[in-house]
């Protein structure tokens, strides 16, 4: 059964990870609630990301340019390119995300979700430390 990692305003349903694919890819469904967003825009040092729209419409901002992703739309994010996502549509949106190669796994998402949903105000320095440890470089 796929693992679901809940961030509150969005969740990830892991379908395949680096452990099961020999490092070839990580693949998860992103389920983004209305007004949900990525907490910190960032770039990846060691992998690319491809996004494929499944339902609803979500917005990826890549290198300062907005891309609305609906069902059947796709977007490629090269490593080193700052990006973030949000859902200004007013309805739930879903997309499939594929990270190649698979070097991240669900561990990063588990740790960050625990920090962000653990009660109280999350510590930005701790979030940054988690991100950097896993190869994500915060834009701010």
- State the CATH class of domain 3-138: mainly beta
pLDDT reported for residue 120: 77
- pLDDT of 116 reads 85
pLDDT at residue number 68: 97
Phi/psi for 126 (5° steps) reads -70, -40
Place of tokens 């992998």: 47
For the chain, what are the domain ranges? 3-138
pLDDT score for 36: 87
DSSP 108-136: HHHHHHHHHHSSS---HHHHHHHHHHTTE
Quick: pLDDT tens for 48-77.
999 999 999 999 999 999 999 999 999 999
**Spatial separation of the C-alpha atoms in residues 65 and 57, rounded to whole Å:** 16
Tens digits of per-residue pLDDT, 35-48? 888 878 999 999 99
Average pLDDT of span 13-36: 95
Task: Give the model confidence (pLDDT) of 82-131 as tens digits.
Answer: 999 999 999 999 999 999 999 999 999 999 999 988 877 878 899 999 99
């Amino acid at each position: 059964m796929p693992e679901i990692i809940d961030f509150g305003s969005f969740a990830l349903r892991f379908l395949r990870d680096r452990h099961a694919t020999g490092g070839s890819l990580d693949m998860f469904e992103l389920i983004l609630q209305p007004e949900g967003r990525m907490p910190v825009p960032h770039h990846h040092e060691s992998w690319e990301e491809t996004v494929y729209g499944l339902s609803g419409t979500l917005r990826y901002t890549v290198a300062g340019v907005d891309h609305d992703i609906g069902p059947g739309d796709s977007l490629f994010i090269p490593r080193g390119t700052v990006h973030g996502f949000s859902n200004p549509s007013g309805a739930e949106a879903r997309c499939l995300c594929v990270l190649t190669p698979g070097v991240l796994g669900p561990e990063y998402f588990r740790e960050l979700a625990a920090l962000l949903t653990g009660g109280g105000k999350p510590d930005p320095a701790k979030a940054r430390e988690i991100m950097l440890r896993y190869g994500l470089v915060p834009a701010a």
